Structures are given as structure tokens and as C-alpha cells.
Amino acid sequence: RVGRTKFSASQLFDEDESVQAESIDKICKAAGFMQEKKIGALIVFERESQLGEIINTGTIVDAVASVSVVNNIFFPNSPLHDGAVVVRNGRIYAAGCILPLSQADLLNSSMGTRHRAAIGMSESSDAVVLVVSEETGTISIAEGGKITRNYNAVTAAAELRRLILSNENQEKKMPVVTVLKKINPFKKSK
């Protein structure tokens, strides 16, 4: 019976993707709450580039993403609220992290330090960064050195899923699935 399980490696990827999707949804629900209350937030979604140097500037949390955990981290005057949260593999991995600021001169003057940090992080890595403005409550997403604004909890979740999950599917899942299909042990030989 050993080796006869119908469990396949592609299920591992589906489970990982499910954790990522659930994490995105919960973080965006928290962002919607912070948007209403005008609570500032900066959340970095790690992709291929490891963010070890950034993580070392903060505090390791390594917690399951939930609305209450995110809201507690960014609650005004809490110890970690001024820094950024780093999300790794769908988990809130670190909080209170310091991000590099963008040096671009052409940034809109209405963008504060959080937005400059989000753009800076997206310029120096492949990370995707969600920002909630403390002044206006506006939700923005930075990727590849560019920032887009005026999201709500639902549209931000959709955009993050598109940027993070579709990128993972293209870069990770396809080559592995292709190889696994070629060596499928359950395939009956003729």
C-alpha cells in the first residue's frame, strides 16, 4: 500500500495557493476596516525576492493572517504600528519593519512616508505592497516602482490575487506540473 496514495504534488501547490488566497482576503478585510477608521498601514507581500534584511529590522511574528492580528498590529500607539508587516507564504511573518524610501523626485506631493516606503520597497524587490493612508484612508498598491490608488477591500483583494497568485502559478506551478506529468507514477503504461 506504500506509494499508492492518490496524493499528488499538484495538491501541495493548490493548498499553498489556498493559504495565500485566504491570507490576502483576511488582510484586505483588515485594510477595509482601517480605511474606514483612517488607520495607516503598510503590508509587504514577499514573492521571489527574499526580504531577510527587511525582516531583520522588525520583530518576528510568524502568525496565521487574520483580521484581528492585522488590526492589532496597526492599532495606533501599539508597539509595531509604525513599521511595515511582511507577509511570507501567506503568514504574517514580521512586523515593525523599516522599508527603504523611494528616491524618485516625481512622486505626488500628497503621498507621505508610507507611500514613499511602499514604492521604495517595490523598486528594490519584486514585492507587492499594500498601503492604507492615515490621512485619507485611501488604499493603494505598489508594484514594480509604481503605485495605484483608490482601492477598497474587495478591489484590493482582487488585484493582490492577480499580482501574487497568477505570478506564482506562472513561475512555480507550471514547470513542476509539466515535469510531474511526464513522470506520473499512476499513469498506466501500454
Q: What is the pLDDT of residues 126-145, one digit of tens each?
A: 999 999 999 999 999 999 99
Cα angle, residue 102 at apex, residues 45 and 38 outer, rounded to 5°: 60
From edge to edge, which strands make up the β-sheet containing 84-88? Answer: 59-64, 91-97, 84-88, 41-45, 128-132, 139-143, 146-151
Q: Which amino acid is at 146?
A: K
Q: What is the pLDDT of residues 31-86, one digit of tens each?
A: 999 999 999 999 999 999 999 999 999 999 999 999 999 999 999 988 888 899 99
What's the CA gap between 52 and 36, in Å, rounded? 32
Contacts with 100 (C-beta within 8 Å, 6 or more apart), sequence order = 117, 120, 121, 123, 124
Global pTM value? 0.80
